Amino acid sequence: MALIRKRRLTEQQQRRIQKQQKTRQEDLDTSSDLEGLVVQHYGRQLEVQALSTPDIHPEKPVVQDGEPEPFWKEIELGSVWRCHTRTNLDLLVTGDRVKWQADPNTGLGIITAIHPRKSLLTRPDRYHKVKPVAANISLIVIVFAPLPDPAPGLIDRYLVACADADIPALLVMNKADLLKENDPLVKLLQEYQDLGYEVMQTQSDGDLTALSNRLANETVAFVGQSGVGKSTLINAIVPDAAQKTNIISENSALGQHTTTSTRLISFGEGAALIDSPGIREFGLWHLNSDKVQIGFPEIENLLGHCQFRNCTHKHEKQCALRQAAAAGEILPRRLDSYLRLIDEITEAQQKN
């Protein structure tokens, strides 16, 4: 594309641009490094959003009368650039904070360095290798609703995955308008609050101030069953979210069209990720068995207090977990979830 564009320029223009590029190359180095956020990646292509602008902006080539206007992309705060990476860099993922350089003449950028990650969401690929999905997620919003009916144990499973990734969770019960009188979901939400989790009730077309305030400055991943209202919530919080998901396919400098529309949607100082491959399956994969207990803090406290060291917590009489459940100290539902997850993992390990 750059070549085709150049051919349309006069020789004089070309010389001038080359000279400008040369001087720019010289002061490129690290002094011209910008801060950026990887908002999308597909294959080796990355999209980086500018989080800073240069102290001294590169100068747009002077156009003389009758000369065609050369391509020029201004380095603006929040602008999104298609980038390549230096080959020596680790695999980058959405959410990575990077150092990069922009070339206004081509509209392309190059990523020169990656900042240390504060968190990394991963998932196993089909060969059981761990694949990075998103970096620096600071909050996971688990959305559920009266409709579709929450799958049993799904919230607990998400909570285990959050604990495993060491990322705080916020439980959002959406579609509050569909709650019936004495709806068991209200009790469910209360139970999680009692366990120490942060919870919230929302209605997509209602007042979402509390939710948006909570999300300010966070990099958020929305998870939850399809149909609970994740996209509707995001669209309500970030009014132009729907457009933002399509920026790239429209402006693609390389003229490529992508079917992937999932990207990190930024709002103020925050950003959100929904429905991306990997996030969609987040929490649905099998976990490491010793990791499960960290998603069940109330059960973790009781482990080691059973009569038998190898207690299965299923039929033993002197089982601290079953006794606690019978005494109403822990929720039988949570114990079931816990045992189901442990069973699942043990089964998966036996297969491998």
Ligand X SMILES: Nc1nc2c(ncn2[C@@H]2O[C@H](COP(=O)(O)OP(=O)(O)O)[C@@H](O)[C@H]2O)c(=O)[nH]1
Which of ligand X, Mg ion, Zn ion, none binds 177 (CB below 5-8 Å, type-dependent)?
A: ligand X
For Mg ion, give the closer residue by CB, 182 or 226.
Answer: 226
Q: Which of residues 160-189 bind ligand X (CB under 6 A)?
A: 174-175, 177-178
231 in contact with Mg ion (CB under 5 A): yes
Helix 332-351 vs helix 154-165: crossing angle, to nearest 10: 70
The continuous run of DSSP H or E covering 243 comes out as: helix 241-244
Q: Which residue is nearest to Mg ion (CB)?
A: 231
Q: What does the DSSP 8-state code read for residue 163?
A: H
Site for Zn ion in 302-321 (CB under 5 A): 306, 311, 313, 319, 321
Task: Say if strands 108-114 and 80-85 run parallel, antiparallel, or are unpaired.
Answer: parallel
| Residue 284 binding result from Zn ion, ligand X, Mg ion, none, given CB thresholds of 5 to 8 Å by partner type | none
DSSP at 70: P
SS3 32: coil
Among 226, 259, 310, 350, which residue sits at the site for ligand X (rule: CB under 6 A)? Answer: 226
Nearer to Mg ion, 49 or 174 (CB): 174
CB count within 10 Å of CB 239 equals 10
Rounded distance, CA 63 to CA 69, Å?
A: 6
d(CA 27, CA 25): 6
Cβ atoms of 105 and 122 closer than 8 Å: no
- CB of 134 vs ligand X, minimal distance in Å: 17
- Closest by CA to 25, choosing from 113, 105, 138, 120, is 105
Instruction: Specify the stretch interacting with Mg ion by CB under 5 A; choose among 84-92, 93-101, 226-234, 341-349.
Output: 226-234
Residue 231 found at the interface with ligand X (CB under 6 A)? yes
Ranges within 274-303 binding Mg ion (CB under 5 A):
275
Q: At its nearest, how many Å lie between ligand X and the CB of residue 185?
A: 13
The binding site for ligand X (CB under 6 A) comprises 174-175, 177-178, 203-204, 224, 226-232
